[in-house]
Amino acid sequence: MQKNNWLSSWARLFLWSHAIGVAVFYSLQWLRTRPNKEDYVRKLSPIAIQHSAQSTPRVSIIVPARNEERNILRCVSSLLEQDYTNYEVIVVDDGSTDNTAGVLDELTATHSHSERLFVLRLKDQLPDGWAGKPHAIHMGVQEASGDWLLFTDADTWHAPNALRSTLTQAIQEGADLFTISTRQELPTFWDKVMMPMAFLGISMLYPPRQANDPASPVAIANGQFILIKHSVYEATGGYARPDMKATLLDDRDLAAMIKREGYRLRFIDGQGLVSVRMYQSLNEAWHGWRKNAYLGNRGGLAFVLLELFGLPMITVIPFLLPLFTLFTRKPQGRQIAWTEIRNATALELTPLLLYRTWLNRQMGVPWYYIFSHPLAGTIFEGILAQSTWLIVTGKGVDWRGRRYHETNKQPYIETNPDTSPLTNKVQ
């Protein structure tokens, strides 16, 4: 009898501590991540493209691109059609082996604003000690003439008023690095399943409110749109710094470095000025998130292990809680009362479902995808576990034909003795 009472007591303790913990987690997650009213971009009305010179700051838009033939036309076309006058677009073709170069050649020959476009072609082999994207951006900066630099990805699309709206607000608010959240294009089932969970994880680790607080050490930027003063980039050393050259978290690490150096960081909601489709399949998404899942954590291996334990607790177990009664029998074979189970389930599922409903609405995902929460949690459990294993064991992670953090072999592609880039200036 005493053993049964002991088991029943511990079962109740687990039941209610879990329910309260989950309820508190999702309530705090919503409070920490919902934007303040001032943390939205002030969209300026689109205007006709002006051709006369104006006393506006010059902006150099830098687009690193490696094997982006399916995205580069849409991206660069949208950048060439901004309703801002004083800017240039520098596309860094980072050793692409597909038809990226051909698409860029076609753009330069046919687009009505091709005079704004400069194509920098790099060889496939990286200099020693560099990761691909930081190196491509750094090489693009060497060609930039702008007072401001805009780093953006090749899979983005920019509304005509995106540059003018963000630059105006960055200057008005005295920001040194100005970054925005983008609208995620989620056409497929797997897009809608995975992206809300990815947002939950990133915003849990790096709440934008804390990133915007100068007193907080938390820093994050969205690599899909980073607007930074050229003078600040040069003063800090940018991606040429020894601690920045090999980073796979180029956006986070740039933001952290800028903030540490005492410059002002602003991260706000972009309200649809820029949209992006990050991945085209579940396999692509798995590899993309695997690259950063372990490295992107703030607490090292110990915190990752805690996450591996906690992720199913907050994403899967809440939906399975009624099954808890099958394993928690009271004396005389009676289960924990269904009333108690229902109350505990309601306590934790209510804030979870409310948070997911809000998050789905923010991301344009149908409400009923709240029920994919356990599936998404299970997938990201696998991604995080594999990412951790590959990094900790030194096997390394692969991305776009290159392998990083591989300690058993040469960690980067062999150095080409001739690392000078081939360049093309589009007329």
Select from 135, 119, 116 the least CA-distant residue to 127: 135
Query: Alpha-carbon distance 22 to 314, whole Å?
Result: 6
Same structural domain, 271 and 319: no
Query: Alpha-carbon distance 292 to 93, whole Å?
Result: 23
Task: Give residues with Cβ within 8 angstroms of 55, minimum separation 6.
Answer: none
Indicate the number of domains in the chain.
2
Q: Which residues of 236-252 are buried (b: 16+ CB within 10 A; e: fewer)?
A: bebbbeeebbbbbbbbb
Domain assignment present for 307: yes
Of 314-323, 328-337, 398-407, where does the model show the most confidence?
314-323
Domain assignment present for 413: no
Same structural domain, 336 and 265: no
For the segment 262-300, what is each residue's pLDDT rounded down to a tens digit? 999 999 999 889 999 999 999 999 999 999 999 998 888
Instruction: Report whether 22 contacts 352 (CB < 8 A).
Output: yes
Domain assignment present for 286: no
Same structural domain, 275 and 306: no
Domain assignment present for 273: yes
Same structural domain, 162 and 304: no
State yes or no: pLDDT of 119 exceeds 70.
yes
How many CA within 13 A on the CB side of residue 85?
10
Domain assignment present for 206: no
Same structural domain, 143 and 251: yes
Same structural domain, 256 and 379: no
Average pLDDT in the 27-47 region? 89
For the segment 394-417, what is each residue's pLDDT rounded down to a tens digit? 998 888 778 888 776 544 333 333
Query: Alpha-carbon distance 367 to 261, whole Å?
Result: 42
How many CA within 13 A on the CB side of residue 165?
24
Give backbone dihedrals phi and psi of 420, rounded to 5 degrees, phi first.
-70, 135
Question: What CATH number does residue 118 fall under?
Answer: 3.90.550.10
The three-point CA angle 246-71-425 to 5° equals 75
Query: Alpha-carbon distance 361 to 341, whole Å?
Result: 29
Sign of the dihedral defined by the CA atoms of residues 355, 356, 360, 361, in that order: negative
> Residue 42's CB: how many other CB atoms inside 10 A?
13
Higher-scoring residue by pLDDT: 37, 258: 258
Percentage of the residues of the chain whose pLDDT score is greater than 70:
88
Query: Alpha-carbon distance 58 to 144, whole Å?
Result: 10
Look at residue 318 and give its three-state secondary structure.
helix
The three-point CA angle 272-278-282 to 5° equals 135
Domain assignment present for 216: no
237 is in which domain, residue-wise? 59-182+222-279
Same structural domain, 15 and 141: no
For the segment 184-200, what is each residue's pLDDT rounded down to a tens digit? 999 999 999 999 999 99
Same structural domain, 136 and 264: yes
Domain assignment present for 408: no
Same structural domain, 258 and 315: no
Q: What is the mean pLDDT of the chain?
A: 88
Same structural domain, 356 and 268: no
Same structural domain, 21 and 91: no
State yes or no: pLDDT of 5 exceeds 80.
no
Query: Alpha-carbon distance 218 to 252, whole Å?
Result: 10
Query: Alpha-carbon distance 146 to 126, whole Å?
Result: 26
Domain assignment present for 44: no
Same structural domain, 259 and 145: yes
State yes or no: pLDDT of 307 exceeds 70.
yes
CA-CA distances (angstroms) from residue 358 to 122, 391, 409?
Answer: 43, 34, 46
pLDDT at res. 327: 58
Select from 189, 141, 149 the least CA-distant residue to 167: 149
Lowest mean pLDDT among 110-119, 247-256, 321-330, 355-364: 321-330
State yes or no: pLDDT of 7 exceeds 60.
no
